[in-house]
Chain A
Amino acid sequence: MSILVRNATRRFGDFTALDDVSVEIPSGSLTALLGPSGSGKSTLLRVIAGLERPDAGSVEIDGRDATSLPPQRRGVGFVFQHYAAFKHMTVRENVAFGLKVARRPKAEIRARVDELLELVQLPGLADRYPAQLSGGQRQRMALARSLATQPSVLLLDEPFGALDARVRKELRAWLRHLHDEVHVTTVFVTHDQEEAMEVADRIVVMNHGRVEQVGGPRDLYEHPANAFVMGFVGAVTRLGEHFIRPHDIEVRRQPNGTTSEAMVERLVHLGFEVRADLVLHDGQRLAAQLSRQDAEELELAQGQIVFVRPSRTRQFAEAPAG
């Protein structure tokens, strides 16, 4: 179901968490709210869920004004960074809880819980308590719990933020997979651009309580609207007014008139890629990204003098925010 947020503002004392934010989230999409901490992304998610009331503005869910509805009447599922598992209940009781409170028939609850535990790959752990699960398992249980009441919208607040890197990677792919299966409109908050790029089909980039840009992962990377987005969705070096991606730097052994001299300060091997940290003659630093093959052909080594030229740069009208 689609979500429409119009001119939402939320202040906490002197701090403006949301500053006149308007966002449309299409039905069935998997959208990431991406931004640094304090950018307002979690507040926006909580405003959609009804856990936070906006000081001004409105929220529509599926064409219905939900601005003054309490969370339990919005038809949303919410997944928290720290799971918020009900510690005094088993996994089965946790997942069944929303249905039990809604007084659904016992047989239906049983069937639905079994189906969900299968979906989140926890069928064998139904009778354990949350304390007996790993972080990744707890988060999958929390997901099953939020899906049990068949919400029209699934909201996740930094769902993988408390997990270690390997589990986080696994769960990302798994969430993507789950969305392909369940098709529920999903919004998740993250500060990790890689996570947003990998999982979402639409990304809302936020900063200082405002939306900087909305678009697909490729869109944002290739056509950033401003310096902030360019810097946030990928590595970037700034030379004067020019913003350069590390893979848009040509590295040569010989000068050709348009190149500048630079020294290789450090070489970092990252599997298929090699990153060369360069220092230009005027002391400016620049990171260049090359394939391993290119780096080998150039016989790059630390301390070596090379000649570089940006093959593609961007300029933005205004100075970068923040």
Chain B
Amino acid sequence: MDAVLDNLDTFRQGFITTLALTVVSTVLALVLGTLLAAMRVSPVPTLRAAGATYVEVVRNTPLTLVFFFAVFVLPQLDIRLSFFVFAVIAVTVYHAAFFCEAVRSGINAVGVGQAEAARSIGLTFTQSMRLVVLPQAFRTVVPPLINVVIALTKNTSIAAAFGVVELTAVATRLANANSDAVIAIFLGSAVCYLALTLPSGWLAGRLERRVAVAR
């Protein structure tokens, strides 16, 4: 227990890195995923095919491999960024595919009539997506979206193996240094992850109830 309390500051820094990685990647992945979902339902066949290919390739590739690509292949293309940014790229690219599929199921649930009605009163495809279809789609997909957010939070731990000193990396280092307190150290890191994921679950519940009223 002392090993945890003595290193609270190191834990705090790891926690903040994990939090930053989670929040930044979630926002970017949600935007990219929504764009991909819009592509997958667009009237342009090339866009549909591109969206479908992205999803199929990315979601069937292990996240560790995606990390390898970001961390080892991008520098060879003369793209030099910090390990943190590479981690953001890997986590974003991977989870965008899952966000895409969740949002797409919501778009399909809205019904084609809504988009057609929007088109017939003068909206372009992009406007009808942005103003009519997506606002309604998000209401139906809060629970699956939160599932992806929770998975994303936990998946950031893979960044530990790629040079990012986040929660899992901190826990591993401390455990190596204090072999007598391994259990306490990993329990401490588990508590930190719970502090991130449990509020997501609560938020999902609250959003769902609010949306149920507005519908």
Chain A residues in the interface with B (C-beta under 8 A): 49-51, 70-72, 76-78, 80, 82, 84, 86-88, 97-98, 101-102, 131, 142, 145-146, 148-149, 155
Check: B204 CB closer than 8 A to any chain A CB. no
A146: chain B residues at CB < 8 Å are: 120-121
Expressed in whole angstroms, the Cα–Cα distance for A141 and B113 within the complex equals 15
When C-beta atoms are compared, the residue in chain A nearest to B127 turns out to be A101
B214: chain A residues at CB < 8 Å are: 88
Whether the Cβ atoms of B135 and A88 lie closer than 8 Å is yes
Whether the Cβ atoms of B119 and A70 lie closer than 8 Å is yes
Whether the Cβ atoms of A51 and B116 lie closer than 8 Å is yes
Q: Which residues in window 113-169 of B have CB below 8 A to A?
A: 113-114, 116-125, 127, 131-132, 135-136, 139
Expressed in whole angstroms, the Cα–Cα distance for A35 and B116 within the complex equals 23
A148: chain B residues at CB < 8 Å are: 121
Whether the Cβ atoms of B122 and A149 lie closer than 8 Å is yes
Expressed in whole angstroms, the Cα–Cα distance for A24 and B102 within the complex equals 45
When C-beta atoms are compared, the residue in chain B nearest to A72 turns out to be B122
Expressed in whole angstroms, the Cα–Cα distance for A71 and B117 within the complex equals 10
With A87-B136, A88-B135 known to touch, is A101 a contact of B116 (CB < 8 Å)? no
With A101-B131, A131-B215 known to touch, is A80 a contact of B116 (CB < 8 Å)? yes
With A101-B127, A101-B131 known to touch, is A149 a contact of B113 (CB < 8 Å)? no
Whether the Cβ atoms of A98 and B121 lie closer than 8 Å is yes
Whether the Cβ atoms of B123 and A72 lie closer than 8 Å is yes
When C-beta atoms are compared, the residue in chain A nearest to B135 turns out to be A88
B139: chain A residues at CB < 8 Å are: 88
Whether the Cβ atoms of B136 and A88 lie closer than 8 Å is yes
B132: chain A residues at CB < 8 Å are: 86
Whether the Cβ atoms of B120 and A77 lie closer than 8 Å is yes
B116: chain A residues at CB < 8 Å are: 51, 71, 78, 80, 84
A70: chain B residues at CB < 8 Å are: 119, 124-125
B117: chain A residues at CB < 8 Å are: 78, 80, 84, 86, 142, 145
By secondary structure, the B interface counts as: helix
B113: chain A residues at CB < 8 Å are: 80, 82, 84
Q: Beyond the given A70-B124, A71-B119, A148-B121, could you list 18 further A-B residue pairs with CB under 8 A, ordered by the A residue number?
A: A70-B119, A72-B120, A77-B121, A78-B116, A78-B121, A80-B117, A82-B113, A84-B113, A86-B118, A88-B135, A88-B139, A97-B118, A98-B122, A101-B122, A146-B120, A146-B121, A149-B121, A149-B122
Expressed in whole angstroms, the Cα–Cα distance for A321 and B117 within the complex equals 35
A50: chain B residues at CB < 8 Å are: 119
Please indicate which of the listed interface residues B114, B117, B124, B139 has the most CB atoms of chain A within 10 Å of its own CB: B117
Expressed in whole angstroms, the Cα–Cα distance for A80 and B135 within the complex equals 21
Whether the Cβ atoms of A49 and B135 lie closer than 8 Å is no
Please indicate which of the listed interface residues B116, B123, B132, B214 has the most CB atoms of chain A within 10 Å of its own CB: B116
Please indicate which of the listed interface residues A50, A77, A78 has the most CB atoms of chain B within 10 Å of its own CB: A78
When C-beta atoms are compared, the residue in chain B nearest to A95 turns out to be B121
When C-beta atoms are compared, the residue in chain B nearest to A102 turns out to be B122
When C-beta atoms are compared, the residue in chain A nearest to B114 turns out to be A84
Q: List 11 A-B contacts (CB under 8 A).
A: A51-B120, A72-B120, A72-B122, A76-B120, A77-B120, A78-B116, A80-B117, A86-B132, A88-B135, A97-B131, A155-B120
Expressed in whole angstroms, the Cα–Cα distance for A101 and B122 within the complex equals 8
B118: chain A residues at CB < 8 Å are: 86, 97
Whether the Cβ atoms of A86 and B114 lie closer than 8 Å is yes
A78: chain B residues at CB < 8 Å are: 116-117, 120-121
Whether the Cβ atoms of A97 and B114 lie closer than 8 Å is no
When C-beta atoms are compared, the residue in chain B nearest to A145 turns out to be B121
Expressed in whole angstroms, the Cα–Cα distance for A80 and B119 within the complex equals 13
A77: chain B residues at CB < 8 Å are: 120-121
Expressed in whole angstroms, the Cα–Cα distance for A148 and B117 within the complex equals 13
Shortest C-beta distance, A254 to chain B (Å), equals 61
